[in-house]
Amino acid sequence: MAAQPVSVLITGANRGLGLEMVKQMLEAPHPVRKLFACCRNPDGPRAEALRTLAKKHPNIISIIQLDATDLCSIKQSAQQVDSLVGTGGLNLLINNAGFLAKGTLQETSPEDMKITFDTNVIGPMNIIKEFLPHLRAAAKASKMSGMSSSKAAVIGISALLGSMESVKESYSFLPAISYRISKAGLNMLTLCAAEELKMDEILVSALHPGWVRTDMGGEGGDIDAQESVQGMLSVISSLTEKQNGAFLDYKGKTIPW
């Protein structure tokens, strides 16, 4: 079995795929030791399931307030993690929080575009930057050679809709112009960060979770969150430097940019 990360941070961990990641990481044969479950409103009704999990696993889960559109909250969350993470640093950062607006070109307003870009691109970029010292600390502290998610890695939860090559086939099914542009932006961020951070031996990849039955994916999705997350966690644990800067689906298949 591949080595597992000791410390993991997940954004948007209060529902959907993020919450399922938290659940499965706790149930794993070798559960993570520190799980920073971030959400924008830890005391709100949408974080109830996460709070219940945190009460059951107080030594593993820390719920951290993080709004991906708010740089102050990202900086504060990085400071909070600093005081909890120790010298081993942060092994795995999962930029999962995301926002979907569904409009066509003619329906999409500048405001739709701004909030989607803020959440899906600028947020992940700021989060990578603010947590970089923790990721670098993990890479330095690790005795493993090469790159892996148990050493130091950033995973961006992207989407097939961000694939430029898929537009002709998928556009009429779901236009979602601002979402598509933002996920294409997240993919470029992934490639640039992978290039820039390889000298620190920090792996950066993007994953498509499949079309999943969550609030975002709706009831018509192909798979449930459990299947998607099982697949993604297995892919994440198998990543090496060969997949640095890769765009893969939850089964490990390469997706064209």
Give the interface with ligand NAP as residue ranges (CB under 6 A). Answer: 11-12, 14-18, 39-41, 46, 67-69, 96-99, 119, 157, 159, 208-209, 211-212, 214-217, 221
Inter-residue contact 247 to 163 (CB < 8 Å): yes
Two tokens, residue 253: 């298949």
Would you say 117 or 211 has its CB closer to ligand NAP?
Answer: 211
DSSP class of 209? -
Closest CB 97 distance from ligand NAP, rounded Å: 3
Beta bridge partners of residue 36, listed in sequence order: 9, 62
Closest CB 148 distance from ligand NAP, rounded Å: 22
Measured CA distances, 49 to 116, 155, 239 (Å): 26, 24, 30
Would you say 6 or 161 has its CB closer to ligand NAP?
Answer: 161
Would you say 194 or 206 has its CB closer to ligand NAP?
Answer: 206
Give the whole-angstrom CA distance, residue 119 versus residue 22.
21
Closest CB 173 distance from ligand NAP, rounded Å: 12
Closest CB 225 distance from ligand NAP, rounded Å: 7
Which helix (H) or strand (E) segment holds residue 139: the answer is helix 123-141
Closest CB 248 distance from ligand NAP, rounded Å: 13
CA dihedral 183, 46, 224, 179 (to 10 degrees): -20
Would you say 42 or 142 has its CB closer to ligand NAP?
Answer: 42
Q: Which residues contact 211 (CB under 8 A, 6 or more apart)?
A: 160, 217, 221, 222, 223
Beta bridge partners of residue 92, listed in sequence order: 8, 153
Would you say 36 or 99 has its CB closer to ligand NAP?
Answer: 99
Would you say 137 or 179 has its CB closer to ligand NAP?
Answer: 179
| Residue 89 DSSP SS3 | coil
Q: Give the number of residues written for the chain.
A: 257
Closest CB 213 distance from ligand NAP, rounded Å: 7
